Amino acid sequence: MSFRHVGIIGAGSWGTALAAVLDANRLPTLIWGHDAEHIARVTATHENSTYLPGYRLPDSFHFTTALDDLAECDLVLLVTPSKAVREVAARLSTTALSPEAVLLSCTKGVERGSGLRMSEIIAECFPHNPVAVLSGPSHAEEVVQKMPTAIVLGCAREDIRTRLQQTFATSFFRPYTSEDVAGIELGGALKNIFALAAGVSDGLGLGDNSKAALITRSLAELIRLGVALGGKRETFQGLSGIGDLMVTCFSRHSRNRAVGERLGKGERLADIVASMNMIAEGVPTTYSAFECARRFGIETPIIDQMRALLDGTSAPREVALNLITREPKAE
């Protein structure tokens, strides 16, 4: 059975891109945003000029700043920055949303302090609703241009996975399914840390050999920590693991790689963040992952060095030297 009313919480680039996918299947969407001025501008101009300039919004897009307007939706996508998920989910839980409505997390992150994944936060607020996740190598800038993209949808319930797959499948957007919700989320979140590191390598001008070695060891570290946190090893060999890691470490669209490159060139993190209108999730996730690794006793040299760099206790070249001069070991 297809969904009748779809709501998207988050009027940024990824929320807009997912609405474009749904529009290809003639599913009108209601998009919620917290910034009334931004929503008014987007509604008037039919363009999300702040986050996706140059893309004209289809007439099927409708916008609101009232979460109550989403109460009749039977599918709600949460596409906010990770730091806002708990607050927004709690607010949404006070609406008259049906307990049968499916909540789909499209946010990549791990909550600092609790170590909870985004779907776990949502499930705390909606204990009776089915919760699913969407992740994979999928830059919004290419999705709205209908460039071929593959992602993975995860849910404990097979019937929900099937419904979501049918909902998102188009001639340019191919969804796969998995029951490994934890692995999908962890792959999507942790890869942002390693994209920061790849950007630092670019900023230092270390070359292809260095970057290839860094990304290879990043995958090993991602798998090691991801399995300890509940993900399945095979999931990290797929779209939300190595697939997302590759695109985020190499792409010109990657915010995390770009932030890392600027760090590698010597810019201060505070200045970089102040100059951006979007969140680089790798920054907060570095701290969350570091906490989780310490809690489980997992060795994470790249994450550790990135935390030192973000804290300002190590310089970019010092971070690179610390990694390359670690005690020799078998692969």
Among all chains, which residue has been given the structure tokens 């810019």?
Answer: 267
Confirm whether residue 255 is marked as ligand binding.
Answer: yes
68 marked as binding residue:
no
Asked if residue 54 belongs to a known ligand binding site, the reply is: no
Q: Is 32 annotated as a binding residue?
A: no
Write down the residue that tokens 């009748």 correspond to: 4
Does 46 carry a binding-site annotation? no
Does 59 count as an annotated binding residue?
A: no
Residue type, 93: S
Beta-bridge partner residues of 146? none
Asked whether the beta carbons of 206 and 154 are under 8 A apart, the reply is no
Residue 51 annotated as binding site: yes
198 Ramachandran zone, left/alpha/beta (phi>0; psi -120 to 50): alpha
Which of 83, 191, 211, 265 is the catalytic position? 191
191 in active site: yes
Contacts 24+ apart (CB under 8 A), 15-18: 15/77, 15/79, 15/106, 16/48, 16/51, 16/52, 16/55, 16/57, 16/61, 16/140, 16/144, 17/52, 17/138, 17/140, 17/141, 17/143, 17/144, 18/77, 18/79, 18/106, 18/134, 18/143
- Residue 256 annotated as part of some ligand binding site: yes
Are 197 and 306 spatial neighbours (Cβ–Cβ below 8 Å)? yes
279 annotated to bind ligand: yes
Q: Is the dihedral of CA 38, 41, 46, 48 positive or negative?
A: negative
For residues 75 and 97, give the distance between their C-alpha atoms in angstroms, rounded to a whole number. Answer: 10
Calpha distance 184→153 (Å, rounded):
8
Q: Is 108 annotated for ligand binding?
A: yes
Compute CA distances 223 → 7, 168, 300, whole Å.
33, 28, 11
The reply, when asked if residue 281 is annotated as ligand binding, is yes
Alpha-carbon span 65 to 62, nearest angstrom = 11
- Give the residues across from 62 on adjacent strands: 30
13 appears as a binding residue in the annotation: yes
Are residues 298 and 228 in contact, defined by beta-carbon separation less than 8 angstroms? yes
11 is in an annotated binding site: yes
Is 136 assigned a ligand-binding role in the annotation? yes
Q: 244: annotated binding-site residue?
A: yes
Tokens standing for residue 27: 């599913």
Q: Which residues are annotated as a binding site for NAD(+)?
A: 10-15, 140, 255
Q: Which residues are annotated as a binding site?
A: 10-15, 34, 51, 108, 136, 138, 140, 191, 244, 254-256, 279, 281
Q: Which residues are annotated as a binding site for substrate?
A: 108, 255-256
Q: Which residues are annotated as a binding site for NADPH?
A: 13-14, 34, 51, 108, 140, 255, 279, 281
**Residues designated as active site:** 191
